[in-house]
Amino acid sequence: MGDTKVCTKCGGDPQPLSEFSQKKRTTKSGEVRITYQSWCKTCTNEYSREHYADNKDDVQQRHKEWRDSNPDKLRGYWLKSAYGITVEDYDRMLTEQGGVCDLCKKVEDVFCVDHDHSCCPGNKSCGRCLRGLLCSDCNLALGKFGSDDSESILWWG
């Protein structure tokens, strides 16, 4: 059975472990063990869709409550998802820039992560093409100029 598993919801023939989501468990001794969900991904997705359709308002309310009470976790998930960096990576970049916009040197409360759109078009980045942290004005200016070369607006800042 080693590389296969039977879904406890749909039963049937054994399926490859890749059809089951992984769970990481940390033992009391600190060892990380990887196990697999008991339902296959198909059954889990089907249940999730049905549960959401039947409980949409409750699910949305719980998600809103979680977001409101976990802003730091949400920020961490967003940075990892959108730019492939951790909060620590972001903070290190900001420290290396002296806590100011990488272009105009303005101090802001929040900075935009600038990446090379020729490498990664759109709003997400692979994490290897990050150029720095920009204030919203410089980030918008890059977009308005239609240029992906941050050096081209240095004169403007």
pLDDT along the chain (157 residues), means of 10: 88 93 91 93 96 96 96 93 92 95 91 83 79 90 67 50
Q: In this predicted structure, what is the pLDDT of residue 155?
A: 46
Q: In this predicted structure, what is the pLDDT of residue 35?
A: 92
Q: In this predicted structure, what is the pLDDT of residue 156?
A: 46
Do the Cβ atoms of 112 and 146 come closer than 8 Å?
A: no
The full set of domains in the chain, from first to last, is 4-54 (no CATH), 71-153 (3.40.1800.10)
**DSSP H helical segments within 20-126, as ranges?**
41-54, 56-69, 71-83, 87-96
Closest CA to 23 of 13, 35, 14, 12: 35
pTM over 0.85: no
112 DSSP 8-state letter: E
